[in-house]
Amino acid sequence: MTTTTLNPAALTEPGAASRTCDTTGLRVCLTGQQFIKLNAVVGIVFLLLGGIAAILLALTRWQAVHLLPVDWFYRILTFHGLNMLIFWILFFEIAILYFACTIPLNCRLFSRGVAWVSFGMMLVGALMTDYIILKGQADVLMTSYLPLLAHPLFYLGIILMAVGTLIGVFNFFGTLYIAKKNRTYEGSMPLVTFGALAAAIIAVLTLLHGAIVMIPTFTASMGWTAQPDPIWYRMIWWGLGHQSQQVNVCAMVTVWYLIGFLATGAKPVNETICRGAFVLYILFINLASAHHLLVDPGVGVTWKIWNTSYAMYLAVLASMIHAFTVPASIEIAMREKGYVRGLFGWVGALPWRNPAFSAVVISLLIFGFIGGITGVTLGTQQINIIAHNTLRITGHFHATVVGGTTLAFMGLAYYVIPLLFRRDFIARPLARIQPWLFGGGILLVSIGMSFAGSLGVARRSYDIEPAGIYGPTTHLFLGIMGVGAILAVIGLFLFVALCVGTLFLGKSNKGRAMEDWGVAVAAPGVKPGAIDIHWAMKGTIALTFIFLACFAVYYFANWSALADVWYVR
Ligand code: HEM
Ligand SMILES: [Cu+2]
């Protein structure tokens, strides 16, 4: 059994100003709290910038609308990719890391100075990059593949961002060190911190790749050194670009466990297996970077197939374990509360009015069913050739990083703001629909992109009309993407408005518990723990078989589509 007990004396050491949370009774380090707030708020501002760019892009790719002129399309595409995937996600992840190493461990943040340096470098780097993109001197897209060359400030901004994040991760490790040294807790590390630790370890590897690739590119852009080899650049860049997605997945899964626990009291079915799954991420995820190089001439076929069709599945296995244990643990918690009827009798009694909870459920379903199934399929070496560089790819990763990670992070904010800013949310009915609006919108975006891509529409392409080969079905799917984008962006703006509005106008909850979003309660007349439950995960197991059936259909349909490419009579 894995248990943790906190040592209440730990935060009383000199220099560790803290308070007791009025809702959870946990001790909160005030420095930690300050930097969780700062990083989360700045992250949300970058999410807003990325969201403005998102709607401009979607209304341009929707060929019937075709909003932006050509130069601004590529400029805004560069801007969107970086503000969303790098700035929003990394700032929010640093907030999650600072949370996971302080509050659940009853520990103070390692260093306020280090936190300021990290935050300052990240902010200056992000602003520098945004400035030079909007000035029109870095139209190289997020990946900035050589031999395209941007203004040196573009690379310098990204380097500052990466090194600043690395310094923040160092603060996380420093905090774990003092937690151990001061014995702020006994027993094993809580699962939330363990997941964050896995994310932090992968982040170090990721950001080192970033430094290795960006520093020589920066010096080349200054004219100091020769330009690095483009194939080398792509290989190392994806060590950054892909692995950082696993940081996201680890952080997202951690949020799933945390909110599942807060909203329903769910405890992991088997902690050892959950922890083992996080270790699989650390060991195998870098190999999966190879799926970005599947049409590159520089690496061999055996290397491609080994890395993407064998070793990668060990990381996929980890995601499948988490996507199983989270709903399974929720199902068990619900059955123990007395909702034992049938396969899905417990679903109706879930706390659907809790926006953090609904965000997590939608995140899990979109990530698993759309992101996971398309990801494994597109990452298969043979199938990739019919999907490479089409909108199918964009359709896939908007299901993972947007429907999955971003939505889970939004869900977390519904607790972070009341607990750490100590203000209750304004406009609570709007907060309750926000995850559905954003999740539903992004589902349409993902489906629209995927099907338009299947019909041959390229990603990163300003104009598909001159080709003259796309029929009404293609335009219909681009329209579905456009309508989905409008819904998703309204959901995004609503989220930002609710958060910012709450910071200024929300009712203070100092001295009392936060206003509850709603948690699962026991069925009438049921004494918790008194219920005998058989086959307590059968609903989740049924769901797993539905998932596997969807996967099989999609996977083999793609092999069939591949076979159609060379028609044999
Ligand atoms: C709010 C809803 C969003 C909408 C409607 C949206 C829409 C789009 C569109 C239309 C494209 C251009 C596709 C192309 O022409 O190739 C795009 C690209 C992209 N989006 Fe989003 N997006 C949204 C949110 C996000 C978020 C939250 C993230 C990351 C966390 C993200 C990451 C990306 C990336 C990495 C690209 C590719 C950039 C490139 O090709 O260089 N998006 N998005
Ligand atoms: Cu990848």
Residue with tokens 């300050």: 34
Under the banding of pLDDT at 50, 70 and 90, the label for residue 218 is very high
Burial of 131 per CB tally in 10 Å (0-12, 13-18, 19+): middle
Question: Distance of CA 53 to CAs 72, 443, 537, Å?
Answer: 10, 19, 42
Q: Radius of gyration of the chain from Cα atoms?
A: 23
* Per-residue pLDDT tens over the stretch 17-45: 888 888 888 889 999 999 999 999 999 99
Mean pLDDT lowest for which of 221-225, 411-415, 451-455, 464-468?
464-468
Structure tokens at 226: 């020769």
User: Using N-to-C axis directions, what is the helix angle for 243-264 and 355-365, rounded to 10°?
Assistant: 140
61 lines ligand 1 (CB under 6 A): yes
Percent of the chain predicted with pLDDT > 90: 68
Q: Is the pLDDT of residue 1 over 50?
A: no
Which atom of ligand 1 lies nearest, measured to the CA of 489?
1
Confidence of residue 152 (pLDDT cuts 50, 70, 90): very high
Q: Which amino acid is at 453?
A: G
In this model, does residue 3 exceed pLDDT 80?
no
What local confidence, expressed as pLDDT, does residue 366 receive? 96
**Ligand 1 pocket, 241 CB below 6 A?**
no
Among the bound ligands, name the one nearest to the CA of residue 458: 1
Least confident residue range of 39-43, 295-299, 447-451, 456-460? 295-299
Higher pLDDT, 553 or 269: 553
The ligand that comes nearest to the alpha carbon of residue 245 is 2
Res 468 pLDDT > 80: no
Of all protein residues, whose CA lies closest to atom 37 belonging to ligand 1? 81
- Ligand 1 atom closest to residue 460's alpha carbon, by position in its atom list: 16
Cα 420 to Cα 164: distance, rounded to the nearest angstrom: 23
21 three-class SS: coil
Q: How many angstroms separate the CA atoms of 106 and 9, rounded?
A: 9
- Residue from 55, 366, 402 to probe ligand 1 pocket by mutation (most atoms less than 8 Å from CB): 402
Determine the Cα–Cα distance for residues 202 and 285; give it in Å rounded to an integer.
9
* 465 compared with 506, residue with greater pLDDT: 506
